[in-house]
A = this chain, B = another copy of it.
């Protein structure tokens, strides 16, 4: 339902006398309405959300364009980490899945699965962070739902977000579109999100705090597409990292990818942490980075445009699309070594997003 009405109802209720989530907060009765009115409605300040209908009704002028639609579930552990939290992740992850398609994100929905006993203060903090991230991304959260599961049957908070936006007329970015000779750019340093999460979990301490790169990329992609409409494809290398994104590209376009390890931007602290934790940074998740595939002639212009944006300052050209070894990604080391970058098989970092 849109404005959380199914779960919350519309009757006036006194301010909550609860500090923690109870099963009653998922009842569809007065406690649900209380949660809606005390936490969700004030946070998002959306007249559509507040209308309490079963569905959000939205002005939407496609005018020759198409609609884009995406969804993701978020189960990251811990809920709060340096550089972000599950709420920011849930907004940015879905916004970015739209943005890398060249889509202008417009509206989000959020479905919460709360574990009985969750402190309401944690929920409030998450919801505030979502509002802030929505504002940064220029999207409106217009639909929501909340369910509560009994203690021990969930893990504090899971969030599923969905997003819709407009695909401008004539725009057709696709992982099937890469061609031999194309250049592969990345918008910044790799591995920051995954290493930030793992460092918190493992209790690692470094001289500087390792922060997640979690950020909404819609403004960066807008600038990139204005500067370079010839972009073939963009991807956000989240779970599975750069490796999964490039392997999907190689298979999707039936091309080979040659990666220049020396050109790949990775923070020294992230490289050090990866060595300590036994991780390959190419497999580590990012939440505020993208790769772009672009005809060689446009690469320099695009790189300049990316570096002019706050979220693209460390952008770099890291590889080339080739006709050799289709479906395969090969990394070239500074000392002349070559290795196949396989798609990761199982789980390197569970619950990273």
**Which A residues have a C-beta under 8 Å from some C-beta of B?**
1-2, 5-7, 9-12, 22-24, 26-33, 51-62, 66-75, 97-98, 100-101, 103, 107, 109-113, 142-150, 152-155, 158, 160, 162-165, 167, 174-175, 235-236, 238-241, 244, 247-248, 251-252, 283, 285, 327, 343-348, 350-351, 353
Main secondary structure, interface of A, reads: mixed
Can you list 25 A-B contacts (CB < 8 A)?
Answer: A1-B70, A2-B97, A6-B238, A9-B244, A10-B248, A23-B346, A27-B239, A27-B350, A28-B285, A29-B244, A31-B347, A55-B98, A55-B101, A57-B167, A60-B62, A60-B66, A71-B144, A71-B160, A73-B112, A75-B149, A111-B162, A113-B113, A145-B160, A147-B351, A160-B160
Interface pair A346/B153, CB less than 8 Å apart:
no
Specify which chain B residues have a CB less than 8 angstroms from the CB of A11 in the assembled complex: 247-248, 251, 327, 343
> How far is A210 from B39 in the complex, measured between Cα atoms in Å?
38
Contact for A30 among B1, B57, B158, B343, CB less than 8 A: B343
Closest B residue to A240 using CB positions: B28
Specify which chain B residues have a CB less than 8 angstroms from the CB of A327 in the assembled complex: 11
Contact for A346 among B9, B31, B149, B283, CB less than 8 A: B31
Interface pair B52/A70, CB less than 8 Å apart:
no
Interface pair B9/A111, CB less than 8 Å apart:
no
Specify which chain B residues have a CB less than 8 angstroms from the CB of A1 in the assembled complex: 70-72, 97
> How far is A69 from B68 in the complex, measured between Cα atoms in Å?
13
> How far is A85 from B32 in the complex, measured between Cα atoms in Å?
24
